[in-house]
Structure 1
Amino acid sequence: MGLQAAFRNRFLDVLGSIYIYNEHRGYTSLDRVLEAVRARCPDDAEFIAAVEKHRADEEKHYRMFRRWFELQGKMPLKVDRTCGHIDHFIETVFGCTIDELDTQAIVANGEEFEKLCRVIMITEQRGMDQVEVLLKNRHILSDKGLKRIFEVVEKDEPSHWMPYDSWLRAHGRRPKPRWREKWTDYWIHKSLMLAKLPAVFLNRSNPRLVRWPDEDPNAYAI
């Protein structure tokens, strides 16, 4: 295998591994968001349905990436929450991990619920922008399966942030990110692109998952 082919294969391997982590983290975390939305907005069937679709799409994307790895006969690289955009965002804004979020407190506090909606909205907008960039990458375009996955993700992304934006506007809440939230998003993105992704790429001793995370909730545990 030539150097260029080896670089391409490693790049796609790392990218796919980071995406499958984030898609799994996304749909499992949205279970908590759905709990909050149903409690906060029990009569808003449209908003609840939109969040349910968001959750279903994230799981669909996860299973598409899983299938991509399965067709290659290998498991994804074992990454951790340092590769998760939403993990960093939640920890910075709320001061705790996703799993530690106090759903009842968020439901009871309008400002906290507003903040949660904005964090999800900003994260999904970042994801949409990133997919547009990736669909111009020659390595992505050279892999028909991965290209198709990102085309599906690109099509789904707008419906993942617009409902939160609409809800915030309809209830007189602030849809535009605060300065601190914009800076947090920018810093997390740059850290992932310029530090974490290259670190995983260069770490040839990075192990692979032994079990799929949808089958074993401790699959990513150290």
Structure 2
Amino acid sequence: MLARFRRRYLDLLGSIYIYNEHRGYTSIDRVLEAVKARAPDDHALIAAIEKHRADERKHYVMFKRWFELQGKMPLMVDRTCGHIDRFVEIMFRHTIDELDTQRIIAEDDQFEKLCRVISLTEQRGHKQVEVLLRHPLVTGDKVLMKIFRIIEKDEPSHWAPYDGWLKANGKRDPKWWERGIDSFIHSELLFLKLPVLFLNFRVKRRTEWQDAHEPAEIKASPVPVLQ
């Protein structure tokens, strides 16, 4: 019984993470578009965000490999389990796909808001990985532990460029209510959505990988050896 519980938990955990990592690197393309239009000569900022994107892609591929080693596909979770999805929807009143990139480029307050959302999301991710690295249901999986150790090392560089832009341009830090939204989204996933998904055995598995239709040069990106 305990073994089945653990397998189900890790299955859901991996499925939620692989969704969020894929959502992360594909969404950062929108951020890069805005940054390159707003500050084309800020090569340091552009390089930092490109590294963030590359790391998110690397993390996605690691979780993909974790599922491949088990011979199965991730469960089909959607944007309701995406932290950045929920944060953007609450803050901008639109889904990520509906975001008006041109408005974000043109309006300083919109780009500022987006930077705070990304920074808080990445900091939340780092805190959660620290918890999972001590979680008794996770520590027995050597491959998963290796993935989370790599993510733990990568994460601090992910919120740094956005915090740096905010400080360099005299923008404010996140306020208590923005941090409250971040905490609410995390609690909603942890205490509501995860238990519901855990008990719903009708959730189907994906029939193809999220990156199935991406260009070959993107899918050829390197990934750490996990075995």
1:19 matched to 2:17: yes
Matched, 1:172 2:170: yes
Match of 1:220 in 2: none
Q: What are the within-5 Å matches in structure 2 for residues 1-222 of structure 1?
A: 3-174=1-172, 176-216=173-213
Distance in 2 between residues matched to 1:52 and 1:183, nearest whole Å: 29
- Alignment-mate amino acid for residue 186 of structure 1: S
Q: CA deviation at 1:216?
A: 4.3
Question: Which amino acid letter does the alignment assign opposite residue 154 of structure 2?
Answer: D
Give % identity: 64
- The 2-side partners of 1:43 and 1:140 are apart by 43
Match of 2:221 in 1: none
Q: CA separation in 2, counterparts of 1:212 and 1:138?
A: 29
Q: Secondary structure at the match of 1:140?
A: coil
Shift of 1:155: 0.3
Secondary structure of 1:162's match?
A: helix
Note the alpha carbon deviations across 1:149-172, whole angstroms, 9 max, x for none: 000000000000011111110111
How far, CA to CA, are the matches of 1:127 and 1:63 in structure 2?
17
Root mean square deviation of aligned Cα: 0.9
How far off its partner does 1:41 sit? 1.2
The residue identity in structure 2 corresponding to 1:84 is G
**Structure 1 outlier segments of 4+, above 3 Å:** none
Instruction: Name the count of aligned residue pairs.
Output: 214
Matches of 1:18 and 1:31 in 2, distance apart? 21
In the alignment, residue 101 of structure 1 is paired with which amino acid?
Answer: L
The one-letter amino acid of 2:37's match is: A
Residue 200 of structure 1: how far off its partner (Å): 1.0
CA offset at residue 76 of structure 1?
0.2
Give the whole-Å Cα distance in 2 for the aligned partners of 1:184 and 1:138.
28
- The runs of 5 or more residues in structure 1 that have no matched partner are 218-222
